[in-house]
Amino acid sequence: MKDFWHQLSTPTVGLAPMDGVTDEPMRQIQTIIAKPEVMYTEFVSVEGFVKNSKTFRKTLFFQENERPLVVQLFGYTPEFFSETILQICEMNFDGIDLNMGCPAKNVLQKGGGGALIGNYKLSEKIIKKSLEAIKKSKKYLPLSVKTRVGKDKIITFDWISFLCQFPLSEITVHGRLLTKGNTGKVFWEEIGKAADISHNKGIVCLGNGGIKSIIEAKEKAKNFGLDGVLIGQAALGNPWLFKEGYLPTKEEILQTIIQHSQLVSDFYPPERFVTVRKHFSWYPKGFPNCTTLKVELLKCKNLNQVIETVKEFKKSFD
């Protein structure tokens, strides 16, 4: 089945899904400044969605300029993947991704995310139920998986070979072991092995882990035979990353802080303005007194306070 994954230019460089980070305001900022070739929603719990889908209204909101956009699902109940996907397919996303690599303890404890690595029986049930739901919906969205090279030891060959038994469109492989979370060695040779296995089945394969720039992303894709790379942590507070070799000015960074705050203020109710604060810790870097700016921004409770804080900060440079 041909889909958007097989139509992307190579090497593809996309923005990795990050829970609590890649929400609608963040994706809009990223799209406006330097649009990646693919983006994802925040994580959606299938158990939570089946219990109360209305709580995910904001999580699942997107705009046309963000396409191609993939919704990422996590969980541990095959039937709930089916129920969730039947509804998700009506929302016109470009694809559905199964999270089989998240290292968060609260996800692992219930058997979801990275706990599925090597759990062939449960993973098979989840993938089959997901594929059945997509077929039943008649929307035929491409199904993909984001996973890792192993839990506490590398099992790339067995695990990726297992995943490639199913008609997936794409597999993203994070090169760190699950036990290492988002730190430690990234086994790019193993990601390369995963690409070889995937390509033999006509499945697109992207790598992930520790990439700091577009140049490095393209080098990794070339050196390890990948279709592309997803960048996560390096993009935090740096949407300009997707403009190869571009360095934003201090003025651009400050204006983006205000613009991001405006989008959050417009999108969320007042009590959720705090969701932008994590970004305040990431944006101000690379110029004098950035720590002072961070501290003041983290005190802000609304857009007007952000505007005033930035205005006062600018005075120190006049």
- 1 pLDDT band (50/70/90 cuts)? very low
202 and 185 part of one domain: yes
164 and 280 part of one domain: no
- 287 pLDDT band (50/70/90 cuts)? confident
The CATH number of the domain holding residue 56 is 3.20.20.70
228 and 255 part of one domain: no
40 and 152 part of one domain: yes
Q: Count of residues for the chain?
A: 318
- 37: tokens are 């070739």
Instruction: Using the predicted structure, report yes or no on whether residue 69 has a pLDDT greater than 80.
Output: yes
- 243 pLDDT band (50/70/90 cuts)? very high
Q: How far apart are CA 61 and CA 44, in angstroms?
A: 12
207 and 279 part of one domain: no
**261: which residues sit within 8 A by CB, 6+ positions away?**
273, 276, 300, 303, 306, 307
DSSP, collapsed to helix, strand or coil, labels residue 168 as: coil
What is the separation of C-alpha 30 from the centre of its chain, rounded to a whole number of angstroms? 12
305 and 180 part of one domain: no
Strand order in the sheet with 228-231: 12-15, 228-231, 204-208, 170-174, 143-148, 95-100, 69-74, 39-45
Q: What is the pLDDT of residue 318?
A: 61
Backbone angles phi, psi at 71, to 5 degrees: -90, 130
What is the average pLDDT across 192-201?
A: 98
30 and 110 part of one domain: yes
Domain of residue 233, residue span: 4-242
**21: which residues sit within 8 A by CB, 6+ positions away?**
42, 236, 278
Runs of H (alpha helix) within 200-289 = 214-223, 250-267, 277-282
